[in-house]
Amino acid sequence: MKSKASAPGKVILFGEHFVVYGVKAILCSIDKRVTVTAEKTNERKISINSKIGKLDLEADKSIFEINSPLKPFYYLANKAIKNENSGIHIEIDSEIPLGAGLGSSSACCVAGAAAIFKLFGEISKEKILEYAIEAERTIFENTSGADCTVCTYGGIMEYDKNNGFKKIEDEPNFQLVIANSNIEHSTQSMVSNVKEFENKNKEKFSELSELESKLVEDVLKLVKENKIDEIGEKINQNQKYLEIIGISNNELTKMIKIGQESSFGAKITGSGGGGCIFTLTNESNLQQVLKKFKDSNYECFSSKIDFKGLNTF
Ligand code: MEV
């Protein structure tokens, strides 16, 4: 018996890092997906196969013994077969660039939770999200839960740690151009660096959190009115806050400059230190922005909002 699920990657439009401290963020899912296929097996083993490697282990091991980026899948499979007399084989297929701030690990956790638990009966989206966040915590303990939430429900949404998510129902008329620095980064360590900044600069951080909060509220109004120029200015403003908390670097700054000069606005997305930046475009400047990044030899692509979220089949 096989079960299959796919989940989209994501872009944090506003509020990464600050969201870990309770500030509201705005996110959307993008039209690049991870697909996970899970199959029950007779042997009590968990085997996982993906482009980034394989894992083939006995079931019932403590999660602390597992040292692999595929650990969240082991966690989910082991949880699912706890009271079952079977094993699980998992296949992962992804279109989302890895470790680039585009939610590949969250999409894996969401699609993984859905495919694995569906082998044992019906399961709600709420429960899938809960298990996906638990799985993500095995590699990144302090997750705000924002990424898994948007990968589950899709679309564009506001999210805060304490109140969860609210979908933004107006369909914005923009497209994103995403450019990859190809500098690998670890979300866990970038979040720790920001924690250190917060510890050393309590007053400054709380002032920035207030500014970010206000900015997000302003953007929520602008999205309703589809004011793309003004949303772009807010994106550039948010980028300044991210630079102050120390998540940018020379390469990212160079890319942001190209983006800001050719589109409505550009900023880092996700934890920073590497990974991707995005720019806000529409049909008037999309091709020109892609050309600018390509001419400077950056890997880039245009992306639309995915409105489907988690899909099971
Ligand atoms: C990572 O995509 C986003 C962060 O805000 C961490 C989180 O929200 O868990 C940096």
Would the CB of 17 count as within 6 Å of ligand 1?
yes
- pLDDT, mean of residues 139-154: 96
Would the CB of 270 count as within 6 Å of ligand 1?
yes
Residues 99 and 215 in one domain: no
Catalytic residue numbers, as ranges: 147
Count CB neighbours of 171 within 10 A: 12
- pLDDT, mean of residues 274-279: 97
| Cβ contacts of 11 within 8 Å, gap of 6 or more | 27, 28, 30, 102, 103, 176, 178, 269, 270, 278, 303
Residues 160 and 202 in one domain: no
Residues 213 and 107 in one domain: no
Q: Which of 128, 152, 168 lies at the terminal end of a domain, its last residue?
A: 168
Q: What is the pLDDT of residue 171?
A: 82
Q: Which of 139, 168, 197 lies at the terminal end of a domain, its last residue?
A: 168
- pLDDT at residue 63 greater than cutoff 90: yes
Q: Which of 114, 134, 168 lies at the terminal end of a domain, its last residue?
A: 168
Would the CB of 133 count as within 6 Å of ligand 1?
no
| Cβ contacts of 165 within 8 Å, gap of 6 or more | 149, 150, 153, 157, 158, 159
Whole-number Å distance, alpha carbon 270 to ligand 1 midpoint, is: 6
- pLDDT at residue 311 greater than cutoff 90: yes
Give the CATH number for residue 142.
3.30.230.10
Residues 126 and 6 in one domain: yes
Would the CB of 149 count as within 6 Å of ligand 1?
no
- Cβ atoms of residues 102 and 270 within 8 Å: yes
Q: What is the largest CA-CA distance in the chain?
A: 59
Q: For 169-200, how does the pLDDT look when each residue is reduced to its tens digit (9 = 90+)?
A: 988 889 999 999 999 888 999 999 999 999 99
Domain membership of residue 239 (yes or no) is: yes
- pLDDT, mean of residues 148-154: 98
Which atom of ligand 1 sits closest to the CA of residue 142?
Answer: 9
Q: For 112-144, how does the pLDDT look when each residue is reduced to its tens digit (9 = 90+)?
A: 999 999 999 999 999 999 999 999 999 999 999
Whole-number Å distance, alpha carbon 7 to ligand 1 midpoint, is: 18
Domain span at residue 238? Answer: 175-304
What tokens appear for 243 in the block? Answer: 């630079």
Chain centroid to Cα 284, Å, comes to 27
- pLDDT at residue 54 greater than cutoff 90: yes
Quick one: residue 118, left, alpha or beta (phi over 0 = left, psi -120 to 50 = alpha)?
A: alpha
Domain membership of residue 313 (yes or no) is: no
Give the CATH number for residue 228.
3.30.70.890
Residue closest via CA to ligand 1's atom 8 equals 144
- Cβ atoms of residues 109 and 132 within 8 Å: yes
Q: Which percentage of the chain shows pLDDT scores above 70? A: 100
Residues 161 and 186 in one domain: no
Residues 152 and 210 in one domain: no
Q: Rounded distance, CA 239 to CA 234, Å?
A: 9
The Cα-based distances of 234 to 108, 221, 266 in angstroms read: 31, 12, 9
Domain membership of residue 72 (yes or no) is: yes
- pLDDT, mean of residues 68-88: 96
Residues 51 and 127 in one domain: yes
Count CB neighbours of 229 within 10 A: 10
Domain membership of residue 26 (yes or no) is: yes
Please provide the average confidence, as pLDDT, over all residues in the chain: 96
Residues 78 and 52 in one domain: yes
Q: Enter the pTM of the model.
A: 0.96
Top mutation candidate among 17, 242, 247 for ligand 1, by most atoms within 8 Å of CB? 17
Residues 252 and 216 in one domain: yes
- pLDDT at residue 164 greater than cutoff 90: yes
Residues 129 and 197 in one domain: no
Instruction: Give the HSE-up count for residue 29: Cα atoms under 13 Å, Cβ half-sphere.
Output: 29
Q: What is the pLDDT of residue 1?
A: 83
Q: What is the pLDDT of residue 173?
A: 84
Q: For 22-33, how does the pLDDT look when each residue is reduced to its tens digit (9 = 90+)?
A: 999 999 999 999
Residues 138 and 54 in one domain: yes
Which atom of ligand 1 sits closest to the CA of residue 147?
Answer: 2
Would the CB of 271 count as within 6 Å of ligand 1?
yes
Residues 130 and 241 in one domain: no
Whole-number Å distance, alpha carbon 182 to ligand 1 midpoint, is: 19
Q: For 97-109, how does the pLDDT look when each residue is reduced to its tens digit (9 = 90+)?
A: 888 899 999 999 9
Q: Rounded distance, CA 230 to CA 222, Å?
A: 7
Top mutation candidate among 144, 185, 197 for ligand 1, by most atoms within 8 Å of CB? 144
Domain membership of residue 180 (yes or no) is: yes
Q: What is the pLDDT of residue 278?
A: 98
Count of structural domains, the chain: 2
